[in-house]
Amino acid sequence: MSAETRPEKGDEAVEPVESAESAGSAGSGAAVEDIGAVEDIEVRDPVSAPDAEGKPRRTTRRFPLFTRDTARPEGGGRAAPSDAPAPARQWPVLAVLGLVALGLLLSALDRFRIGTLLIGVALLLGGVLRWILPDVGMLAVRSRFTDMVTYGVLGLSIALLAMMVQPDPWLVIPFLKDTLHFTVST
């Protein structure tokens, strides 16, 4: 059969690993050269290859078939020390969600303009908190820039729409009225 010897750490001489397949394919009595020990290497996916130590290493930039974990977004750490209770560690997202909930409650109680304006201000506050604070907990979703732009654009658009709502708008933009009349009359 085949004789296998595994090198121990510090061993100088290493005998080659020979199997029935390699002995048959070697030709008529050809000797197998001493090229080092062959270890059993577990390859996790088809794009892995062993490195110098024999551990599988990614050799391509292709994504794996199954994602094992995800990276935390920039600034996605705790907003308070780890010994603080959970609500204190997530105070930025709780402040934004609290203002949004208050805005929804005001909208439900027939104070639509003030409620939606408060929702827009809450999103703008989320963008400002994401810009100023180094760690904002669960308020961080993507990169800092993406979060700031997303919160800012959504907050500004909701606040502007809340100020332009009829009747008696607080903000009148003249070209919007002309554009509306042009599209309705044509």
> Mean of the pLDDT values across residues 134-141?
86
Which pTM value belongs to this model? Answer: 0.56
3-state SS of the chain is CCCCCCCCCCCCCCCCCCCHHHHHHCCCCCCCCCCCCCCCCCCCCCCEEECCCCCEEECCCCCCCCCCCCCCCCCCCCCCCCCCCHHHHCHHHHHHHHHHHHHHHHHHCCCHHHHHHHHHHHHHHHHHHHHHCCCCHHHCCCCHHHHHHHHHHHHHHHHHHHHHCCCCCCCCCHHHHHHHHHHHHC
The pLDDT, as a whole number, for residue 15 is 47
Domain spans, the chain? 86-185
pLDDT tens digits, residue range 37-92?
555 655 555 556 666 677 766 666 666 666 666 666 766 676 777 777 777 888 89
Give yes or no for residue 116 having a pLDDT over 70: yes
